[in-house]
Amino acid sequence: MAVDSPTGVIIAAVFLHAATTIVCGSDSVLKLERLIPPSHELSLAQLRAFDSARHGRLLQSPVGGVVDFPVYGASDPFLVGLYYTKVKLGTPPREFNVQIDTGSDVLWVSCTPCNGCPKTSELQIQLSFFDPGASSSSSMVSCSDRRCYSNFQTESGCSPNNLCSYSFKYGDGSGTSGYYISDFMSFDTVITSTLAINSSAPFVFGCSNLQTGDLQRPRRAVDGIFGLGQGRLSVISQLATQGLAPRVFSHCLKGDKSGGGVMVLGQIKRPDTVYTPLVPSQPHYNVNLQSIAVNNQILPIDPSVFTIATGDGTIIDTGTTLAYLPDEAYVPFVQAISSAVSQYGRAITYESYQCFDITSGAVDVFPEVSLNFAGGASMVLTPRGYLQMFSSSGSSIWCIGFQRMSHRRITILGDLVLKDKVVVYDLVRQRIGWAEYDCSLEVNVSATRGGRSKDVISTGQWRENSAQISYTSDYYYLLQVVFLINILLSWNFRFL
């Protein structure tokens, strides 16, 4: 049976049917015969093709795999200011651009009709609207459905027409509301660096029909939010519950202006990864930040400023572009930076940022910053890890990307400090790890299959060979269809 011959698949299925006998009674006997008679010799190439089909079926079994999502966008708030990925929803699948957000629990997309949803985007992407009526597999989630509520999602409610509804408010004042949809999500399961298999799974996501605040503006408009939080309805939770992905995900966000990077449901393996424990029973990815050092000097900040005991603690959040410190930490932080570079230029305010006009133009005059966490893990920031650069009148203006949170005691570590690093969210061991890395390089990803760890190389380059991937996937689905037809025929013969 040749892989490139659909007819061969059908013939093989007929052979399988002819070799299967079902006997009714108190005992069931299954008569087995060779699928390929001894007299019919096959070449090695044909046997390899036969095995390949078998392996395709094995790989599609619902066990943990490496699920790959493309990454677009960049961290520079004056250019793009967000990282986003593409997700396929519905039948037939339609593609949507959604912001990668570890600070929220739900995947939602703009639906039709939608009040306040932007029609155009300055990110040079075509905005799309999900139409539940155009998907043959779409269904509404009712208020009585147990999926209407999740561990950390308390905003669910009931609309007058018995639809499970939601209303989200974000830290920037923007908001969205709508109702939940159950449909299929399609995604790529990476097998090797050159092979990925199209997969799909039933999935509950938000259908937004109202947006307010910054979500209405076209400057950074996308189709929705890709919630990667710990709640039961998050992307990672839903796929892990179905056995389609491990309860660990990783990203590596490129920090240059071209942006992009890697995001996988799986563990990106780096030998130099350091870990800090997650604060238990929190709705966000809270960690214990204990101190900040500038030029290896610990700043005079009370550690309680960073804890949930006196505020909202310290949160790692890809949905935030910059980084934020409460007053008690921001003031000594800026003072330490200013003192370190005072001899190289003057402090200025530029577009509401705390900046420095450095005559030499060299970023190397700025000190190294270290964020020190529980468990002995430190996140070391080079100057480009906490600064943004602008050019003005021949001088280089360097601005501190850390912003002040005067109205709230909370520390948020956003894309500014997360870029150019492998970041691992290990929900099984309840920890977060990171390691410096060039995110344009290939990554080694580990996932659990049958209780054992399996490594694959994921570069994102297999997308360039989409024809081969689609062909492999189409071949697998053809096998599924023929197998189902064979079962139906078997039952018909049984009752003749």
Which residues participate in catalysis according to the annotation? 101, 317
Q: How many CB atoms lie within 10 A of CB 359?
A: 11
Strand 224-227 vs strand 94-101: parallel, antiparallel, or unpaired? parallel
Q: Cβ(394)–Cβ(358) under 8 Å?
A: no
Tokens 């139906």, located at residue: 488
Q: What share of the chain is helix, strand, coil (3-state, %, to 5)?
A: 25, 40, 40
Q: How far apart are CA 354 and CA 397, in angstroms?
A: 10
d(C-alpha 416, C-alpha 250), whole Å: 17
Beta strands in 345-479 (DSSP E): 345-350, 353-358, 369-373, 378-381, 387-392, 395-400, 402-405, 411-413, 421-426, 431-436, 443-449, 452-458
Three-state DSSP state, 469: helix
Give bridge partners of residue 224 from the DSSP assignment: 98, 109
Number of H helices and number of E strands within the chain?
A: 6, 31
Distance CA 320, CA 327 (A): 18
Q: Concatenate the DSSP letters of all residues of 37-54 into one string.
A: -TTS---HHHHHHHHHHH
Query: Does residue 325 sit in helix, strand or coil?
Result: strand
